[in-house]
Amino acid sequence: MDPYKHRPSSAFNSPFWTTNSGTPVWNNDSSLTVGIRGPVLLEDYHLVEKLANFERERIPERVVHARGASAKGFFEVTHDISHLTCADFLRAPGVQTPVIVRFSTVIHERGSPETLRDPRGFAVKFYTREGNFDLVGNNFPVFFIRDAIKFPDVIHAFKPNPKSHIQEYWRIFDFLSYHPESLHTFAFFFDDIGIPQDYRHMEGFGVHTFTLINKAGKTQYVKFHWKPTCGVKSLLEDEAIRVGGSNHSHATKDLYDSIAAGNYPEWKLFIQIMDPVHEDRFDFDPLDVTKTWPEDILPLQPVGRLVLNKNIDNFFAENEQLAFSPSMIVPGIYFSNDKMLQTRIFAYADTQRHRIGPNYLQLPVNAPKCAHHNNHYDGYMNFMHRDEEVDYFPSRFDSVRHAEKFPIPNDILSGRRVKCVIEKENNFKQTGERYRSFAPDRQERFINRWIVALSDPRVTNEILSIWISYLSQADTSLGQKIASRLSVRPNI
């Protein structure tokens, strides 16, 4: 018998019950007792193992993006961008790469309704020939803050009150009143798209600015956009109440049922490109995660298509244990100096090591599908079979070598150590432009959502005046309308 033949997999199930160690179980209905009515014996190891395993079935849920659903499929290049990047999976039209995608809500718990007003996560793991690339984004192109030192604070503000465990707008508006840059994200949050109809009908964005590098070492800033081929659809408040009241997992069910029926969700991938030498031409900082890039100046360029054509086999293994991190990049794609991105590079991988374990990248759903090798050994739940005698580098007894060199950005960095806000804040212009692009009925719904939120009885006059000021600086009529309905005098 080959002891390594039967790797852990349901494909090797025996036709009868066993313990985890493979010992046959001849009775899985009754505990071992002294007599028919006697006390239960601790020596009933199967009983003890069954209960102990059940008590440990749950791993810590994600602090954010706890509620989610996943599906598998492929990404196919449709347009040549090899002049922009040397990334192997983008090398030519027709190239396909297997992917797994996880959609999620951001703030609420794992079992929360999928009809709550909340940003949605849109994370794609590309299993490329040069390792995994994780594009970890949202359905909004911007975020509430621009410096990740405030990330724990903004999440705490959006999370339920730690005393009552109730989400309250006064906490959100109190904290973000110190961060006027958040107004732009509220222009998406309180818009109709704040509650997507389901995961198939929502856009996705890489949010951050990344860098593309071609073979010659030329760099370009890049933003990623996912556009659903079936269009963007949202739920209005009464629809969300009706849908959520009948099925709190409606978006997960819709995704699963659509794929099972052969109605495969599809998105087109577009990019915006900016030459780094041109970043000072704009009245905002292109690396500021609270800003979008104007599409009339930096148009969307098509790259490929994402198709989800296979449901996951097991929710826990391929959704709960599925782990993403913006640190997972491949040759030809690099980071930028976006402050939020720079910190997420560390934080996302670190939270997975806490949540799942230091060897989370050995789990099949997270492991690369290409050959890989390093000397990262041992640790909790390490199940990789290794028989090497050399676990250091370099060695004359091991032929492993460095990989072929690939280009990375080589710009020269200089400056003093500082803790400060960026120079080009420009916190209100893009919010006003977005509001004025809405049709009148959409503007009215947007205003009404602000009215409801700002009517929280614990929103003080001071906080209310601050937000009226911010809204007025974005668009005078917007601020005036909200102030009038709340009986507040605008103070710009």
Residues annotated as catalytic (active site), given as ranges: 65, 138
For 404, counting Cβ atoms within 10 Å of its Cβ (0-12 exposed, 13-18 middle, 19+ buried), the class is exposed
Query: Rounded to whole angstroms, how far apart are CA atoms 297 and 281?
Result: 11
- Structure tokens that stand for 220 in this block: 């370009």
Q: What are the CA-CA distances from residue 185 to residues 63, 118, 158, 466, 477 (Å)?
A: 21, 11, 14, 17, 19
Q: What are the CA-CA distances from residue 104 to residues 95, 124, 188, 422, 445 (Å)?
A: 28, 12, 17, 31, 24
Compute how many other C-beta atoms are within 10 angstroms of the C-beta atom of residue 226: 21
Query: Please, are residues 454 and 482 in contact by the beta-carbon 8 Å criterion?
Result: yes
Give the single-character DSSP code of 335: -
Query: Rounded to whole angstroms, how far apart are CA atoms 462 and 181?
Result: 18
The runs of H, that is alpha helices, within 136-290 are: 151-158, 169-176, 183-189, 237-246, 250-260
Find the radius of gyration of the CA atoms of the chain.
26
